[in-house]
Structure 1
Amino acid sequence: MAETDWKKVAAHLRELSGEFTPAQRDLADALGVALAPGTPMPVAAALLRAHLTGPLLLKRAQPIDEEEYGYLELVAGEAAIEVPPQDLIDHRDILEAWLEVAWAHRSVIHLERLSPEPGDIAITPGERGSEQVQHDIIASISNSGRLNFRGGRGRGARPHRVTSLVKQDAPHHADLVRKAREEALARDPRPGRVTSRELALLRPWQVTRGPSLAEREALRETLETATAERDLQEVLQRHPALLGHVLTGNHGTWVRPEVGFGNHYRADFLIAGRTSAGLQWVLVELESPNARLTNRGSGRESPTLRHAVDQIRDWREWLSTNLLQARTPRVDNGLSLPGITADARGLIIIGREDDTEDSAQVRRRLFTDSRIEVRTFDWLLRAAEQADSRLLGLLDLESGDDTEDW
């Protein structure tokens, strides 16, 4: 059960760890069990169960070890309570009861320190060894004292782990709410899980078939005369099926043209494919069909290819700090890109096939280091010609493949 009033939770925890009840005292007297004044209720219950282990043929608990007792001492110290010496706690059930009491006392101390309310921003330490902190929005407070965070999926923290709170009337509270939402999205272990309502945002860009003969010929003819990337951009915008089939989408494929990231960046295309694993996105950058992948002689990536790689890295950097805006519907000033992540795959389509150019090593390195595929426009044309025979998207069939055919 969750509460919104921390004072009620603190009162519950104080009651839970208070002195044994009259019923416990009467039972202890009847059994001849000595309960010291002030023995907390959970400990009294454990002492009674331990006394009845034999008569009731209960399973006897294993003895405790030094590490377990050391942890109890640590929590008891943080909670400012005294616990019996290790040799007087000969039953794990009793140790766990003392832990329950120590946890309750510690939670009360920190609930009083924080006075947390739903909507406050809780700041907790980041991953071990990291100097960064995490921001979360408090949704409710469990009766155990644990703070539950918005976003579900079990997110929360015990109050002693919260270093500070930003209250709702603080001047920078709104900025931290946005930051907390961004961080929560970035931590999502399965960002590709999207709802039907989110998928509906993509309906105008859904591709429901493979490329037709007419579309393939349109691409072929454009390749014969194109001198700049804009020529290819236009034909692919008119015929999105030419791009849609390169990515696996058993449950749907979508192609978005010219997606702006903030005021400075614009992706030529974004492709999304939905499988049983969720929605996966690919960031597409087009370059001139006349550009080379590598420099003549050195075999290193050409300036044009380097520029394209930098473009995709810029888009990813923008996504890393604006993920919430990217996933938010356009009617709410977002980009309507449900499930997109800051490490979405990249695809650069550049140049034509050239027997004098050995680009396999460059392409392999970019895929391994940056999850960026580099392909030619001839590859795209051949992919369109073979689309009907592919059950998986071509990128998923040949990712990381260094064959020169593609």
Structure 2
Amino acid sequence: MTDARDALKAEMEMLRTNYLALLDKEEKEQVYQKYLEENTRLIPRDFVQNHGVSFDIVLRKPAFGADYKSDFFFLSKSTVLWHAVHIEIEKPASKYFKDSTNEFHPDFLHAQQQINDWRAWLDRSNEGAFRSAVSALMVPLATNPIEHKYVLVYGRRSEYEGNDIRRSKVAALVKSSGIKIQSFDSLAEGLAGKNPVNIGIRKNEYIDVIGDEFLKSEGCAWIEPTQFRLSQSAKDKLMNMDGGGPYMKSMRTVGGRSVDSYKYVGENVRVRSDKEPVIDEA
């Protein structure tokens, strides 16, 4: 057990070091989007409730309505409600303040306005359309109420951490807007406490789950398999689970009879070739 902890600690320190070095290069936003998708412990987990991220799936660039697309999105439930967490990332080089002043930079204000536009769309009686778009991830307790939460990942901490006025202005904005604002640096904190997740891409009829393993295998007790597409490797792993090792035996009722959850999903899920590309930036 000690060896495993030491190995995890070394792995997280390496990830942290490489990530912070990448921030210093001030690349385009797309570079950081891709890096977070490949190193999912870095994705924010704000507003996660006691049941965690729903099915351990974070959607990339889901579209809600004609004009609303966040960079990442996930659902998290308690026994009484869902948190729908919308995450927008800009880039590490983005500025909070104008030059040497304590006045907010127009780019920072624009990023907040973009989130306010999303909020307005969701407030315009669009809950039915929203629920339909994410229904595959809203089980069980699908009828529970939804609270929408917003996270903006923006700039570097060094721009305000040594300035009490700037720091207090950012804190006041967080309090008044209800938007969780955090620097790119903060994503490198607490990595060992953030489990890896699958990245998902929402299609018209299903969610494409990236990776060679369905990380939330216990979710097989609940999901409708035809609403998901897995890689061939991920399907094969489900088909070979027998309740031994780290996997608990899982059953579900189908057509009035009890069946193995893993095999049921494996037999009925959509499947793609391991070599088939999933992300299409076009």
- Bin for the TM-score computed over the shorter chain: 0.5 to 0.7
1:316 aligned to 95, 119, 122, which one?
119
The structure-2 alpha-carbon separation of the partners of 1:340 and 1:377, relative to structure 1 and needing over 3 Å to count, comes to farther
Q: Deviations over 1:301-330 (max 9, x none)?
A: 211211110111111111112111000156
**Following superposition of structure 1 onto structure 2, how do residues 341-360 of structure 1 map, counting pairs within 5 Å?**
341=146, 344-354=148-158, 355=161, 358-360=165-167
Paired residues, number? 175
C-alpha distance in structure 2 between counterparts of 1:288 and 1:329, whole Å = 28
Aligned residue number for residue 38 of structure 2: 238
Which of 56, 80, 85 is the matching residue for 1:282?
A: 85
Partners of 1:300 and 1:255 lie apart in 2 by 34
Gapped runs of 5+ residues in structure 1?
1-211, 389-406
Measure, in 1, the Cα distance between the counterparts of 2:75 and 2:170.
Answer: 22
Structure 2 match to 1:53? none
| 1:363-382 → structure 2 map (5 Å cutoff) | 363-382=170-189
Match of 2:245 in 1: none
Q: Which has the higher strand share?
A: 2
Structure 2-normalised TM-score? 0.53
Among 307, 320, 323, the residue aligned to 2:110: 307
CA shift, 1:385, in A, is: 5.7
Q: Which has the larger radius of gyration?
A: 1
How far apart, in 2, do the equivalents of 1:290 and 1:280 lie?
30
In the superposition, the TM-score normalised over structure 1's length comes to 0.38
Shift in Å, 1:336? 6.0
Cα distance in 2 between the residues matched to 1:223 and 1:289: 6
How well do the aligned residues superpose, as a CA RMSD in angstroms? 3.2
Highest relative contact order (Cα 8 Å, sep 6+), 1 or 2?
A: 2
Matches within 5 A, 1:218-237: 219-237=19-37
CA shift at 1:276, angstroms? 4.2
Deviation at 1:374, TM superposition (A): 1.2
The answer as to whether partners of 1:251 and 1:274 remain within 8 angstroms in 2 is: yes
Is contact 2:75–2:82 with CA below 8 Å preserved after alignment? yes
Q: Aligned runs of 1:365-404 on 2, under 5 Å? A: 365-384=172-191, 387=194
* 2:35 match: secondary structure: helix
SS class of match (2:70): strand
Q: 1:247–1:271: 8 Å Cα contact kept in structure 2?
A: no
Q: How far apart, CA to CA, are the structure 1 residues paired with 2:28 and 2:115?
A: 19
8 Å CA contact retained: 1:248, 1:275: no
Percentage of identical aligned residues = 23
**How far apart, CA to CA, are the structure 2 residues paired with 1:376 and 1:250?**
25
